[in-house]
Amino acid sequence: MVVRMGAAIGVVTILVVSSSSSFARPSDQNRNKQDAAAASHAIVGIASEYNPFHPGYREGGPETASGERYDSSAWTAAIQTDLRDKFGGVRYGKNYRPAYALVTSAHKKVIVKINDVGPLEPGRVIDLNEQTMRYFDPTLERGLIHIKITPLAGEGWSAGPIAENRNIAAND
């Protein structure tokens, strides 16, 4: 009987100690969950530049998958078709809702509006429009850049460059 009582007290003590650590710092746990969620949504890969008005075998038309006309001076991009759901879907016409992403490369950050999708070339995850690619590669000579893309929740984002010292939370 004494052994059973001692074992029961030991089990209760272990449960209380282990569960009290979860009550001690809930803000730390939420921060860790947010950091893990943001990290799990980031996509690392290769970006290229596209402009349907440049001559070439893959020149496409002036209309994007969202129904918007391609604008080389906007901060927009096309994601790989397989990634459509990770970005909340890019729908057409009246069902269109803007999707935004944070694109990072070589210590530069920019928020882009995802308004197009496509099969892209093998190994590429995003096609940046001319304006966005010039931000990362001013001469457009590199052609391909290594990037990290993080989907941004909501529609209240302003597309364009982000100051180097400003942090963007993917769950804002």
| CATH (domain of 65) | 2.40.40.10
**Residue 135 and residue 111 in one domain:** yes
**167 within domain boundaries:** no
Q: What is the pTM of this model?
A: 0.68
Q: What is the pLDDT of residue 129?
A: 92
**170 within domain boundaries:** no
**Residue 12 and residue 80 in one domain:** no
Q: What is the pLDDT of residue 59?
A: 55
**Residue 55 and residue 21 in one domain:** no
Q: What is the pLDDT of residue 58?
A: 56
Q: What is the pLDDT of residue 85?
A: 79
Would you say 140 and 72 are in contact if contact means Cβ atoms under 8 Å apart? Answer: no
**171 within domain boundaries:** no
**Residue 79 and residue 135 in one domain:** yes
Would you say 134 and 140 are in contact if contact means Cβ atoms under 8 Å apart? Answer: yes
Q: What is the pLDDT of residue 133?
A: 94
**Residue 117 and residue 157 in one domain:** yes
Distance CA 84, CA 109 (A): 21
Distance CA 90, CA 68 (A): 11
User: How many domains does the structure of the chain reveal?
Assistant: 2
**172 within domain boundaries:** no
Residue 146 belongs to domain spanning: 42-162
**Residue 5 and residue 83 in one domain:** no
**Residue 121 and residue 139 in one domain:** yes
**4 within domain boundaries:** yes
In the predicted model, residues of the chain with pLDDT beneath 50 are 1-5, 7-40, 57, 171-172
**169 within domain boundaries:** no
Distance CA 157, CA 172 (A): 10
Would you say 120 and 167 are in contact if contact means Cβ atoms under 8 Å apart? Answer: no
H helices present in the chain, as ranges: 2-24, 26-41, 130-136
| Number of neighbours of residue 76 by Cβ within 10 angstroms | 25
**Residue 119 and residue 78 in one domain:** yes
**16 within domain boundaries:** yes
Q: What is the pLDDT of residue 56?
A: 64
**153 within domain boundaries:** yes
